[in-house]
Amino acid sequence: MRVACLPAQGGCGHIRVVLITSGGSGIGLETAVAFAKAGYAVYASMRDPRRSARLDEAAAAAGVHVSVIALGVTEPASVEAATGGLLEREGWLDVPVNNAGIGELGAVETLPPAQVLAIFETNVFGALHVLRAVPPTMRCLVLQRRLLP
Ligand SMILES: NC(=O)c1ccc[n+]([C@@H]2O[C@H](COP(=O)([O-])OP(=O)(O)OC[C@H]3O[C@@H](n4cnc5c(N)ncnc54)[C@H](OP(=O)(O)O)[C@@H]3O)[C@@H](O)[C@H]2O)c1
């Protein structure tokens, strides 16, 4: 993947930027609101942003704002479009949180193979798609900051 260096707009000591995959429910939602309450600029992704009502309500109740973006971790093009848009807007991302995932309880022999594949595609390769899209740009900007005053 080719990584373009973007101009950093914030800088250390300024507002920090967080991306939480699947921040529309559960742990992702709570994490998104907690980061926003701590003063971070928070982007919560979900496969279908129209389903952000619970997050919107929780953020409003906490008196904070969380930006919702469309992202499906199993679709590399979707991950690249979402993270590219975020980086264009913020110029920087401090914390990617790979929260999207499928939790499955039960004996391994009872899991249908298709479900095992879905778990790996989401929990393993989904996280990898996000890690391929974001940290190279983070490294690139860290390098720029070391070189520029
Ligand atoms: N709750 C627990 O006790 C527990 C324990 C261990 C690990 N975890 C892990 O912690 C994370 C959050 O857990 P949670 O309980 O808060 O879960 P949750 O409310 O079910 O949220 C998980 C989110 O992952 C996304 N997701 C599910 N299947 C997906 C797929 N095939 N492709 C892309 N995204 C998919 C969905 O978000 P969108 O559809 O909005 O994108 C879903 O809302 C998960 O990764 C879970 O496996 C939870």
CATH of the domain at 98: 3.40.50.720
Ligand 1 cavity residues, CB under 6 Å: 22, 24-28, 46-47, 72-74, 99-103, 118, 122, 126
pLDDT score, position 147: 64
Distance 16 CA to ligand 1 centre (A): 24
The Cα–Cα gap between 33 and 59 comes to 6
Residue 96 in domain = yes
What would the pLDDT profile of 8-62 be if each residue is shown by its tens digit? Answer: 554 444 668 999 999 999 999 999 999 999 999 999 999 999 999 999 999 999 9
Is residue 79 in some structural domain?
yes
Residue 73's φ and ψ, nearest 5 degrees, are -65, -20
pLDDT digits over 85-112, tens only? 998 998 888 899 999 999 988 888 999 9
Q: Which atom of ligand 1 is nearest to the CA of 47?
A: 41
With respect to residue 8, please indicate whether it lies within any of the assigned structural domains. no
Residue 3 domain-assigned (yes or no): no
106 falls within a domain: yes
DSSP 51: G
DSSP states of 54-98: HHHHHHHHHT--EEEEE--TT-HHHHHHHHHHHHHHHS---EEE-
What total number of domains does the chain contain? 1
Tell which atom from ligand 1 comes closest to the C-alpha of 45.
41
Cα gap 11→24, rounded to integer Å: 28
Ligand 1 pocket test: pick from 19, 20, 27 the residue with the most ligand atoms within 8 Å of its Cβ.
27
Q: Is residue 54 part of a domain?
A: yes
